[in-house]
Chain A
Amino acid sequence: GDSVTQMEGPVTLSEEAFLTINCTYTATGYPSLFWYVQYPGEGLQLLLKATKADDKGSNKGFEATYRKETTSFHLEKGSVQVSDSAVYFCARYGGSQGNLIFGKGTKLSVKP
């Protein structure tokens, strides 16, 4: 069935390091894709999204490009900060069902 697979964490980086969190999906067609972020003690927040192939979503220095050839939507940031420490969830739209299909989440810890 339709699914989202993201790299397992935890990921630990030093401040100012480059970040990549891999995400791949299975789907028929080209669903909208999302990255959500969950800071400690909070609910999930939409970080960025892309609605069609080759779209690039970006927000707060994070970017992800919708790659239909590789069915991927990897999250990147050039220079992470301690405040980026959180759990990141990749998701795809479920289509006519109206729901989102989430990956398992990747915990990022950034050390000063």
Chain B
Amino acid sequence: DAGVIQSPRHEVTEMGQEVTLRCKPISGHDYLFWYRQTMMRGLELLIYFNNNVPIDDSGMPEDRFSAKMPNASFSTLKIQPSEPRDSAVYFCASSRGNEQYFGPGTRLTVT
């Protein structure tokens, strides 16, 4: 298996623009997680899905952030409008059972 796939790997955008991050989980995994990692806050869980249904979105920082999982093989995290403080590395992870497998991350820079 190719592992968790994230795109793009790097994204540079201007403040106010819409940003969409994409994730393809490992086939057969029924949980999908979105995390954000910064130097200041460390690793934060934003939202996670079970069988494509959002279970807990309490970590989503504000209404500018939204996530969808239209099917078992694809999820998006959208930020609209983006702000400089959203600059971070965003990780997607998937699991079946209690082990999570992380993607390589998307490094987002908002100028």
Contact = CB atoms under 8 A, between A and B. Distances in A.
A binds B: yes
Interface in A50-104: 89, 93, 97-100, 102, 104
Interface of B: 4, 31, 33, 42-43, 45, 48, 50, 55-56, 91, 93, 95, 98-105
Contacts of B56: 97, 99
B33 A99 contact: yes
Contacts of B102: 36, 43-45
Interface of A is mostly: strand
A44 B42 CA distance: 13
Contact of B48 (A99, A104, A105): A99
Contacts of B55: 97-98
B5 to A, nearest CB: 11
B42 A49 contact: no
A92 B71 CA distance: 28
B99 A43 contact: no
A46 B101 contact: yes
B48 A98 contact: yes
A34 B99 contact: yes
B22 to A, nearest CB: 15
A104 B99 CA distance: 18
9 contacts: A34-B99, A42-B105, A43-B4, A43-B93, A43-B104, A46-B100, A98-B55, A99-B48, A100-B100
